[in-house]
Amino acid sequence: MSGTPIQAVAIGASAGAVQALLAILPALPASFSLPVLVVVHVPPDRSNMLVPLFQSKCRIKVKEAEDKEPVENGVAYFAPSDYHMLVETDGCVALSTDEPVNYSRPSIDVLFESAADYYGSALAGVILTGANHDGAAGLKAVADVGGVAIVENPDGAYASAMPTAALEATPSARIMSHDQIVFFLSSLGTAR
Amino acid sequence: MSEIEDLEIQLLLEALFQRYHYDFRHYARASIKRRLIQARLHLGFATISAMQDRVLHDASMLPRLLDFLTVQVSEMFRDPTYFKALREKVLPHLRTYPSLKIWIAGSSTGEEVYSLAILFKEEGLYDRTIFYATDINPEALAAAEAGVYTIDRIRKFTENHQKSGGKSSLSDYYTAAYGRAAFDKSLRDRVVFSDHSLVTDAVFAEMHLISCRNVMIYFDRPLQDRAIGLFRDSLTRKGFLGLGSKESLRFSSHAGAFTDFVPGEKIYQRREP
């Protein structure tokens, strides 16, 4: 595997996100030791119901990201609806109301590109199911800095457009099923 | 590559400050970087340094760059529950004053200014209020003062207005023509539009309510702290401060100067000194 130990995981998902994330996040062990930054496309007007849902299902801590909050290990941060979530240059999460990217706010590209900037090769980026191409440029940014690029197998995905676009942008990305993603992440975050 | 670009960004921000006194050095860097890269692509420069060279020598480039660095597209009555909370919880207090001063800090293209003006009209407080709408971007201020928005945005504005507990019809306040909605000048005859920077400028009046939403999320923590200190010093005793729905005073050293007045809506009240 890559030389740098992974320090953070970024996950992006759109159509079919809830089922995909339910297969992954609750399966992570309580001892999981990396921060997980999650962008899910949700309609802007709806209050984000994902956080309470995943809080009730996960063994790791789950919360909605707050502006300028230091990123802690073993915590999953969800982007609030209608805000972009970024990793700041001091390692805090930051929010922004900049205009939508790929018609999306939060946008997966915005998270992944800023996280790639901060974590470099110590970042693992995961693109899950979705019906658009957000995240493709972001995953490429992760791969370009030497991070680990992972894409849900489009054949098994609820919506294949997003993983397919990510693979087109980053052909070297590893293709995995939900179970393989769980296994891979667990091995990153609990080995030490 | 990225390290060189980070250095170029740092140098450009320093150049903007030294040459034009626009200080973005303590803006949250990740967002600034995105915006500068967008500006570079749109304006057709090969590097950030090339863009810096141009803006240093050609002042006409400044407004174009400022557009990328500052302009925020908002909505009227964005986060309707915030305006509902102002209407139901804050205005009853403001009503007890014979005259009022309200500051919309970072007013951008004016959506929130008109929202508050309409709210105050509906509640019968407009005529005793002076509104200060401030921003660092002169073009945004001009747009705010013009109060003209494309008609496709009106549906959302109207929906928000209704959800905020609006007592009138939004269409009472604008005239639509040629794909645009022009808001009535009676909504701005008590508004002072002015250039003011939360980064470098000081207190200019004693306010009863300051609304500054989704402005400070673009600041780093020390700058957030400066702005909140400025708000504290600008508020009358028991005056109100409204922030964006994902902003808070929690991490600020001035948190103790405020009470959480409407917790879910990020409306704070200045404690008695």
Closest partner residue to B31 (CB to CB) among A66, A90, A94 is: A94
The partner residues of A124 in beta bridges, in order of sequence, read A9, A148
Angle of helix B29-43 relative to helix B48-57, nearest 10 degrees, comes to: 80
CB contact under 8 A, B246 and A80: yes
Mutate to test the interface with B, among A68, A93, A102, A140 (most CBs of B within 10 A): A68
Q: What is the pLDDT of residue B161?
A: 98
Residue A3 lies in a domain: no
A95/B72 touch (CB, cutoff 8 Å), yes or no: no
Report if residue A160 sits inside a domain.
yes
Cβ count within 10 A of residue B210:
23
Domain residues for the domain of A32 are 8-187
Closest CA of chain A from B248, distance in Å: 8
The per-residue pLDDT for range A147-176, each reduced to its tens digit, is: 999 999 999 999 999 999 999 999 999 999
Within a domain: A192:
no
Distance from CA of A45 to the nearest CA of B (A): 9
What is the spatial distance between Cα A97 and Cα B37, in angstroms, rounded to a whole number?
A: 17
Share of chain A above pLDDT 90, in %: 88
CA A90 to chain centre: 19
- Chain B residues whose CB is inside 8 A of the A110 CB are 34
DSSP of A124-177: EEEE---SS-TTHHHHHHHHHTT-EEEEE-TTTSSS-HHHHHHHHH-TTSEEE-
- Report yes or no on A46 lying in a domain: yes
pLDDT means over runs of 10, chain B (273 residues): 88 97 95 95 97 96 93 88 98 98 97 98 98 96 97 96 97 96 97 95 95 94 94 97 91 92 95 83
Instruction: Please determine, looking at this structure, whether the domain spanning B80-270 carries the CATH number 3.40.50.150.
Output: yes
pLDDT in tens, A36-78: 999 999 877 666 789 999 999 999 999 999 999 999 999 999 9
Nearest chain A Cα distance for residue B202, angstroms: 24
The catalytic residue positions of A are 14, 41, 134
Number of domains composing chain A: 1
Comparing CB atoms, the residue among A67, A110, A118 nearest residue B217 is A67
Residues of B in contact with A118 (CB under 8 A): 30
pLDDT bin (cut points 50, 70, 90) of residue A1 is very low
- Structural domain contains residue A120: yes
User: How far apart, in whole angstroms, are the C-alpha atoms of residue A99 and residue A191?
Assistant: 40
Contact B28 A68 (CB under 8 A): yes
Cα end-to-end distance, chain B, whole Å: 51
pLDDT for the residue numbered A45: 63
pLDDT at residue A192 is higher than 60: no
Q: Categorise residue B69: left if φ over 0, alpha if ψ from -120 to 50, beta otherwise.
A: alpha
d(CA A130, CA A164): 9
Contact B251 A68 (CB under 8 A): yes
CATH of residue A60: 3.40.50.180
Contact A66 B73 (CB under 8 A): no
For the segment A101-126, what is each residue's pLDDT rounded down to a tens digit? 999 999 999 999 999 999 999 999 99
pLDDT for B251 equals 79
Q: What is the nearest CA distance from A173 to chain B, expressed in angstroms?
A: 21
Q: Do A98 and B35 touch (CB under 8 A)?
A: yes
How many other CB atoms are found less than 10 A from the CB of residue A91? 13
This model of the complex carries an ipTM of 0.87
- Structural contact between residues B259 and B269, judged by C-beta atoms closer than 8 angstroms: yes
- Residue B214 to residue A145, Cβ atoms within 8 A: no
B202 touches chain A (CB under 8 A): no
| Contacts with A113 from chain B: Cβ below 8 Å | 34
The pairing of beta strand A8-13 with beta strand A36-40: parallel
List the domain boundaries for chain B: 2-70, 80-270
Interface contact B247, partner A, CB < 8 A: yes
Separation in Å, CA of B12 to nearest CA in chain A: 17
- Whether B34 contacts chain A with CB within 8 A: yes
Contacting B with CB below 8 Å, chain A residues are: 66-69, 80, 83, 86-90, 94-99, 110, 113-114, 117-118, 145
Query: Tens digits of per-residue pLDDT, A74-91?
Result: 999 999 999 999 999 999
In a domain, A91, yes or no: yes
The answer to the question of residue A2 being in a domain is no
Q: What pLDDT score does A79 carry?
A: 96
Look-up of token digits 């849900």: A152
